[in-house]
Amino acid sequence: MMDASCFILDDNADAVEFCPHEPFSHVLAAATYTLHEGGSQPNRSGSISLFSVDDSLGLKLIHQVGTVGIFDIKWGPLLTDAIPMLAVADAHGYLSIRSLRSKLTTKDQDEFMLQEAAKEKVSDSMCLCLSWNPSATSITVGLSDGLTSVYAIREDKLEFSEEWQAHQYEVWAASFHEHQPDLVLTGSDDCCFSCWDLRSGPLSPVFKDSTSHKMGVCSISSSKFDEHQLLTGSYDEFLRVWDLRALSRPVCRVSLGLGGGVWRVKPNKEVPGLVLAACMHNGFAIVEVSEDKGAVVVETCAKHGSLAYGADWKRKGSNEGLVVATCSFYDRLVRVWKTEKRLQERAR
């Protein structure tokens, strides 16, 4: 890896997300979560920070807001003429949407802020994860009590749509399928990986795999380039590549051990076959997935000093090549870096 810059936040860093929208692809959001024990009830604090990443990959903090503890953030899908929207899942059971706005008090074109556009109390339990559907009309949320919820987006409101008991324990992964947006895929501390069809009502799963993952399922991502491919990450330290051509009977085609719990899995949306993984106790890995080789680690980053949690790809600029943002928990570190030369050439 070619290291560029880093920034230490005030709280434990657990999520980083590059804005996918032009001309805002240089804007990076980072979220934090800190548990303060003691007293009659634990307090969970957090923050959202916006950074500008310049051409030399320098990090400039441009906006920061204090919040309750945040478990997950996701920018809305890349849609024509849409205002960038950041969805937030927090420890108080709220789902909120914040819009990216220019600061009207400054002449600096690189000054932005997040303005709350909608907020809804989902549960008395904690909101642990979220996913937008491809048309940005719905968001699904995984909860700490095993429930999964879907909320429709109506102008400046979030409206309840569906809720069901997806798992016995915490739902750490809830994701719309990129090519079949009526499908919601969930994973949990109960080691189950399930698929639900919203058209028929999520009373029973399309499939439920309870034997492949030996520990909790942390992350689920579908591929932009292959409608039948799905990726899962688990505390059992394996990245798994699934074939969903027979939807009721998914086939695990590849299992790759990454030496740490696979907390985040991020396929590159511009370069087929490249996957970024946050591996908790073993840093970050870039994996190449292909039909002939299966899955192979092609690069690693071990420069974080604690749990590797957040990871995302930057949308490619004209001369930037492959740029990655990562964050780690207890050392509160956000880092931006470039992949090695061979991968830069692979991405051209």
Q: What pTM does this model have?
A: 0.95
Which tokens hold the place of 261? 């719990």
Mean pLDDT confidence for 241-252: 95
What pLDDT score does 343 carry?
79
The pLDDT tens digits of the residues spanning 2-38 come to 767 999 999 999 999 999 998 899 999 999 999 998 7
Among 80-84, 139-143, 155-159, the range scoring the smallest mean pLDDT is 80-84
pLDDT surpassing 70 at residue 105: no
Q: Label residue 141 exposed, middle or buried (CB < 10 Å: 0-12, 13-18, 19+).
A: buried
**Could you identify the residue written with the tokens 């890896």?**
1
The pLDDT tens digits of the residues spanning 273-305 come to 999 999 999 999 999 999 888 999 999 998 898
3-state secondary structure of 345: helix
pLDDT surpassing 80 at residue 72: yes
The pLDDT tens digits of the residues spanning 225-245 come to 999 999 999 999 999 999 999
User: What are the start-end ranges of the E strands in 226-304?
Assistant: 229-234, 238-243, 251-257, 264-267, 274-278, 284-290, 294-301
pLDDT surpassing 70 at residue 186: yes
3-state secondary structure of 51: strand
77 neighbors 123 (Cβ within 8 angstroms): no
Outline where the chain has alpha helix (H).
341-347
Instruction: Map out the domains of the chain with their CATH numbers.
Output: 2-347 (2.130.10.10)
Residue (of 26, 19, 27, 71) closest to 45 by Cα position: 71
What pLDDT score does 288 carry?
96
Q: What is the mean pLDDT of the chain?
A: 93
19 neighbors 36 (Cβ within 8 angstroms): no
